[in-house]
């Protein structure tokens, strides 16, 4: 299994004919993603990368039965593209675009309420279910082996590094979700962890957080109060441990506004909530191996008893 997307996800690319859209659509096709068409206003009827282009999402869905969209639309128009995807009932909407104005995202969040769509992003690397579907800009080679480790991350590049470590140590990724680093986003860390907890394929979860905001804290406190039988081991890392207060680090959401939003405070809180914290990104692979070995030993003991 996997979460959110799989080999049957039918993907429509909004903004396919632009430079970024063309490049990453080709990479997704190379990965094996089932892309059924693209949308670029004014270019309907054209063919690009062997895919039909439509003027609107409504026409694209009508002719392709697409149920997932990915957005490579400039920031000034990205919120309209998201809401267009929501209006045609896309199951999953992945917005790669960065720099969307906060006011625009407030409108999007309001429009999203009560709808049956998951928004991933904006300003995110997307989602990949290994050997099934990649909807985003994550490097193909890092997610070439499916497995039982799930990743949820606020950072794009750190997601790739963690996945590469896990791969090199002999494990694979079930699904990796980059939720984005902006101050207003769609799906959050708690939502993704909850999906992993219900996924029989995922046995261990890696959480990569950052300074700023309280998404990691909210997820950890929620996790702490779950019944033990519903839990899976979570390995946590918080980036920005040397970041000064009040300075934006990397993107809009990574800025410390309160003491509780520092890396050190988050690490302490997450650890008290039962998250296996590591201080260095390069310890993630080792910690995954230790926890998975512990699970195997525990299962053997339980089988003997």
Could you report the per-residue pLDDT of 143-165, keeping only the tens digit for each?
Answer: 988 899 999 999 888 999 999 99
By percentage, how much of the chain surpasses pLDDT 70? Answer: 90
Q: Is 47 exposed, middle or buried (0-12, 13-18, 19+ CB in 10 A)?
A: exposed
Give the count of beta carbons closer than 10 Å to the beta carbon of residue 213.
25
Give catalytic status of residue 251 as yes or no. yes
- Mean pLDDT value across residues 3-15: 97
Strand partners, 12: 37, 69
Could you report the per-residue pLDDT of 130-143, keeping only the tens digit for each?
Answer: 999 999 999 999 99
Question: What was the pLDDT predicted at 246?
Answer: 56
Question: Confidence band (pLDDT; 50, 70, 90) for 301?
Answer: low
- Mean pLDDT value across residues 42-69: 98
Query: How many residues make up the chain in this entry?
Result: 305
- DSSP E strand stretches across the chain: 11-14, 35-39, 47-48, 51-54, 68-71, 92-95, 118-120, 126-129, 133-136, 146-153, 173-178, 204-210, 234-239, 276-277
Question: What was the pLDDT predicted at 2?
Answer: 83
Task: State the Cα–Cα distance between residues 103 and 117, nearest whole angstrom.
Answer: 20
* Residue of 206 and 228 predicted with greater confidence: 206
Q: Of 24, 63, 198, 251, which residue is the catalytic one?
A: 251
Question: What was the pLDDT predicted at 71?
Answer: 98
Q: Identify whether 122 is preceded by a cis peptide bond (ω within 30 of 0).
A: yes
Spell out the domains of the chain, with CATH numbers in brackets: 1-123 (3.40.50.720), 138-305 (3.40.50.261)
Question: Confidence band (pLDDT; 50, 70, 90) for 90?
Answer: very high
Question: Confidence band (pLDDT; 50, 70, 90) for 1?
Answer: low
3-class DSSP assignment, residue 19: helix
Task: State the Cα–Cα distance between residues 264 and 286, nearest whole angstrom.
Answer: 21
Question: What was the pLDDT predicted at 243?
Answer: 56
Task: State the Cα–Cα distance between residues 226 and 20, nearest whole angstrom.
Answer: 42
- In the predicted model, is pLDDT for residue 299 greater than 80? no
What is the strand order of the sheet 173-178 is part of?
133-136, 126-129, 173-178, 146-153, 204-210, 234-239, 276-277
Task: State the Cα–Cα distance between residues 74 and 70, nearest whole angstrom.
Answer: 13
What is the strand order of the sheet 92-95 is part of?
47-48, 51-54, 35-39, 11-14, 68-71, 92-95, 118-120
Which residue's structure tokens are 């980059």? 178
Read off the tokens for 223. 């996790």
- Please state which of the ranges 22-36, 178-192, 235-249 shows the lowest mean pLDDT: 235-249
Question: What was the pLDDT predicted at 294?
Answer: 82
Question: What was the pLDDT predicted at 144?
Answer: 85
Mean pLDDT, the chain, rounded, equals 91
Question: Confidence band (pLDDT; 50, 70, 90) for 300?
Answer: low
Question: What was the pLDDT predicted at 139?
Answer: 94
Task: State the Cα–Cα distance between residues 72 and 91, nearest whole angstrom.
Answer: 18
Question: Confidence band (pLDDT; 50, 70, 90) for 169?
Answer: very high
């Amino acid at each position: 299994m996997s979460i959110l997307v799989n080999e049957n996800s039918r993907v429509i690319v909004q903004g396919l004919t632009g430079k970024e859209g063309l490049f990453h659509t080709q990479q997704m096709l190379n990965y094996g993603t089932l892309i059924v068409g693209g949308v670029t206003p004014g270019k309907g009827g054209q063919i690009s990368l062997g895919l039909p282009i439509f003027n609107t999402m409504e026409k694209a869905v009508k002719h392709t039965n697409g149920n997932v969209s990915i957005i490579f639309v400039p920031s000034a128009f990205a919120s309209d593209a998201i809401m267009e995807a929501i209006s045609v009932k896309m199951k999953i909407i992945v917005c790669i675009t960065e720099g969307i104005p906060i006011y625009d995202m407030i409108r999007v969040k309001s429009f999203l309420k009560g709808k049956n769509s998951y928004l991933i992003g904006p300003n995110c690397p997307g989602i990949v279910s290994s050997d099934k579907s990649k909807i985003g800009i994550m490097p193909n080679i890092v997610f070439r082996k499916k497995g039982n480790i799930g990743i949820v991350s606020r950072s794009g590049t750190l997601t790739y590094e963690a996945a590469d470590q896990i791969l090199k140590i002999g494990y694979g990724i079930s699904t990796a979700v980059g939720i984005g680093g902006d101050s207003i986003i769609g799906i959050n860390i708690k939502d993704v962890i909850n999906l992993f907890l219900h996924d029989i394929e995922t046995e261990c979860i890696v959480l990569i957080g950052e300074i700023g905001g309280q998404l990691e804290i909210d997820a950890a406190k929620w996790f702490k109060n779950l019944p033990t039988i519903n839990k899976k081991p979570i390995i946590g890392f918080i980036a920005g441990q040397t970041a000064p207060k009040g300075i934006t680090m990397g993107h809009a959401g990574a800025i410390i506004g309160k003491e509780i939003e520092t890396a050190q405070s988050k690490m302490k809180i997450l650890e008290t909530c039962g998250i296996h914290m590591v201080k260095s990104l390069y310890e993630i692979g080792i910690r995954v191996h230790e926890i998975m070995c512990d699970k195997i030993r525990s299962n053997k003991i339980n089988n003997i008893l």
